[in-house]
Amino acid sequence: MPPQSGKDAHRVQLLDLTRPELAELLGQWGEPRYRADQLWRWLYRDLEADFTAMSNLPQPLRARLVAEASCQPLALVEELVSRDRRTRKALFRLADGETVETVLMLYEQRQTVCISTQVGCAIGCPFCATGRSGFVRNLTPGEIVAQVLHYARRLREEAQEEATSPQVPSSLSNVVVMGMGEPLANYEATWQALETLNDGQGFALGARHMTLSTAGLVPGIERMSQEKLQVGLAVSLHAPTDRLRNRLVPLNRRYPLAELMAACRRYVQRTGRRVTFEYALLQGINDSDEQAEQLARLLHGLLCHVNLIPVNPVQGSPYQPSSRPRAESFRHILQRAGIAATVRLRRGLDIEAGCGQLRQRRAIGN
Ligand code: SAH
Ligand code: SF4
């Protein structure tokens, strides 16, 4: 649990509770069993944050919730919207004053929210704004879930406002765990949050609409591959050799490529799902034709897809994105070797939508 301050310190954070835990709490308050289901639906299906509006709960229970509970662990500090309005980024303050970021991306067919799982990150990839700022603490399940609920509410409100000429879809279709932090280093809270979002009585988001990205924490990947909830796996590879990956993703010193690849192969075997590999293209560092050939050999025979992402330059870091032709040449080599690969457009550059960048900018005050 994070340290809490201010008026919420004594309150029970409802979003931190599983459905059985919520039932236990209401049982202790002397409520009948079905109340927990009603409250769960208010929170996750109706997206209601105001206890007084929960009309099928008896008045005394609503009053007790107002006095003793909270379902809003995040306070919006700032929101940036890209010029095309299709990427938005929220900075939230937590009860203890720390801040995290959440990004919404609207595509043709999908509405994806990208959520954070830690304040900062201990892994320290040198091209990543979050990694450069160090690790502060894990998020709680409620702090993770609340990021999704924020944008789900927002989309629903906007769709209602534009009811006459609907331009904005009314709900989220995908959740990607690709914001600040290493989700598998905060496994319990992250998994509880995903299970809460998946619960059919509430938010009801299918596991196929969730993807978790890891820097390669091998025991976490093993654990994920045995879960009932089959969330998609993305692995941040960024380099085809241990020598280079030790530098770009320092976790590689603990879990080198041979172990990581073996874990990915087991994941595919057990789940039947393909793995997505993320590869940030850093000009002159990891983007040569020879490195593309090495990557093709590394991934040979593995059910996977490679996302090539020209790096988003962050303040104080020397890394620059590869040019478009370089990225295409890299992709072409993978493709020729039978490995599906896509060069991803960089979204929301004008709002610093790369992970951790807004928080970093505010911390240094410019
Ligand atoms: N810690 C996890 C998830 C969060 S980072 C992980 O590393 O996978 C999500 C993705 O953004 C990762 O692939 C990460 O390597 C990438 N990333 C971080 N900083 C970036 C930058 N400046 N440009 C492009 N991609 C970046
Ligand atoms: Fe942490 Fe991921 Fe950033 Fe690396 S890329 S520092 S693992 S958040």
For the ranges 32-36, 318-322, 349-353, which has the lowest average pLDDT? Answer: 349-353
Residue 363 pLDDT greater than 50, yes or no: no
Considering the domain architecture, whether residues 66 and 79 belong to the same structural domain is answered as no
Query: Does residue 62 belong to any structural domain of this protein?
Result: yes
262 half-sphere exposure, CB direction, 13 A CA radius: 7
Is residue 282 included in any domain, yes or no?
Answer: yes
Q: Determine, yes or no, domain membership for 353.
A: yes
**CATH value at residue 56:** 1.10.150.530
* β-pair partners for 12: 69
More confident position, 144 or 349: 144
What is the per-residue pLDDT for 84?
A: 84
In terms of domains, do 158 and 188 share one? yes
* Total domains present in the chain: 2
* 1 located within any domain: no
What are the residue ranges of helices labelled H in the chain?
A: 19-28, 34-44, 59-68, 129-132, 141-161, 187-198, 218-225, 242-248, 257-271, 289-299, 324-336, 357-363
pLDDT of residue 22: 98
- Residue that is written with structure tokens 């619960």 in the block: 199
Cα–Cα nearest to 152, from 202, 97, 84: 202
Residues facing 27 on adjacent strands: none
Pocket-testing residue among 102, 278, 281, 306, ligand 1, by greatest number of atoms within 8 A of Cβ: 278
- Residues 251-284: pLDDT tens digits? 999 999 999 999 999 999 999 999 999 999 999 9
Distance separating the N- and C-terminal Cα atoms of the chain: 31
Residue type, 294: Q
Residue 2: what pLDDT? 54
Half-sphere exposure of 235 (CA within 13 A, CB side): 30
pLDDT score of 316 more than 90 = no
* Distance from C-alpha of 271 to C-alpha of 264, rounded to nearest angstrom: 11
**Residue 54: what are its φ and ψ, rounded to 5°?**
-85, 80
Please report the pLDDT score of residue 163 as a whole number: 62
DSSP 152: H
| Percent of the chain with pLDDT strictly greater than 90 | 81
* Same-domain check for residues 243 and 347: yes
User: Which atom, in ligand 2's list, is nearest to the CA of 251?
Assistant: 7
Cβ atoms of 202 and 141 within 8 Å: the answer is no
Substitution candidate for ligand 2 out of 100, 128, 221, 255 with most atoms within 8 A of CB? 128
Q: Read off the CATH number of the domain in which 313 is found.
A: 3.20.20.70
**Is residue 44 domain-resident?**
yes
Please give the number of the atom of ligand 2 that sits closest to the Cα of 118. Answer: 8
With a 6 A CB cut-off, is 113 part of the ligand 1 pocket? no
Mean pLDDT, rounded, for 221-241: 97
Tell me if 216 sits within 8 A of 161, measured CB to CB.
Answer: no
Given 70, 96, 122, the domain boundary residue is 70
Domain extent at residue 10: 6-70
Catalytic residues: 101, 355
- pLDDT given at position 366: 28
Sign of CA dihedral 13, 16, 19, 20: negative
Whether 181 is in the pocket of ligand 2, judged by its Cβ within 6 Å, is yes
Strands 75-81 and 340-343: unpaired
pLDDT score at 354: 55
Does residue 364 carry a pLDDT above 70? Answer: no
In the predicted structure, residue 362 carries a pLDDT above the cut 60: no
Residues 99 and 192 occupy one common structural domain: yes
According to the model, what pLDDT value does residue 351 have? 56
The whole-number pLDDT of residue 321 equals 95
Does one domain contain both 60 and 102? no
The pLDDT of residue 107 is above 90:
no
Task: Name the one residue in this structure whose structure tokens are 């304040």.
Answer: 119
DSSP per position, 259-299: HHHHHHHHHHHHH-PPEEEEEEEBTTTT-SHHHHHHHHHHH
Kindly state the DSSP code that residue 343 receives in the 8-state scheme: E
87 and 169 fall within a common domain? yes
181 assigned to some structural domain = yes
**Residue after which a domain boundary falls, among 22, 42, 70:** 70
Predicted confidence (pLDDT) at residue 19 exceeds the cutoff of 60: yes
**Confidence category of residue 85, pLDDT binned at 50, 70, 90:** confident
pLDDT band for position 353 (cuts 50, 70, 90): low
CA count, 13 A, side-chain hemisphere, 52: 2
Q: Report the range of poorest mean pLDDT among 8-22, 154-168, 180-194.
A: 154-168
Looking at the structure, tell me whether residues 54 and 202 fall in a common domain: no
234 phi, psi to nearest 5 deg = -120, 135
Residue 192: is its pLDDT beyond 90? yes
What pLDDT does 365 receive?
33
What's the chain's average pLDDT? Answer: 91
Report which ligand 2 atom has the smallest distance to the Cα of 128.
3
Same domain assignment for residues 36 and 109: no
In a 10 Å sphere around its CB, with 0-12 CB exposed, 13-18 middle and 19+ buried, how is residue 305 labelled? middle
Which residue's alpha carbon is nearest to atom 13 within ligand 1? 236
Does one domain contain both 200 and 299?
Answer: yes
Report the side by side order of strands in the sheet with 232-236.
75-81, 87-93, 99-106, 111-114, 174-177, 210-214, 232-236, 275-281, 304-310, 340-343
pLDDT band at 10 (very low <50, low <70, confident <90, very high): confident
Considering the domain boundaries, does residue 281 fall inside one?
Answer: yes
Query: Of 27, 48, 70, which residue constitutes the final position of a domain?
Result: 70
Establish how many alpha carbons lie within 13 A of residue 95's alpha carbon, considering only the half-sphere containing its beta carbon.
Answer: 22
**How large a percentage of the chain has pLDDT more than 70?**
90
Q: CB under 8 Å to 190, separation ≥6 — which residues?
A: 117, 141, 144, 177, 183, 184, 212
* Nearest CA residue ID for atom 4, ligand 2: 125
Domain identity same for 189 and 310: yes
- Do 52 and 131 lie in one domain? The reply is no
Is the model more confident about 59 or about 361? 59
Q: State the angle between helix axes of 324-336 and 289-299 in degrees (0 to 180), rounded to the nearest 10.
A: 40
Band of pLDDT at residue 229, cut at 50, 70 and 90: very high
Burial of 250 (0-12, 13-18, 19+ CB in 10 A): middle
pLDDT at 287 over 60: yes
Element holding 108 (H helix, E strand): none
53 and 84 fall within a common domain: no
> Looking at residue 142, what is its pLDDT?
98
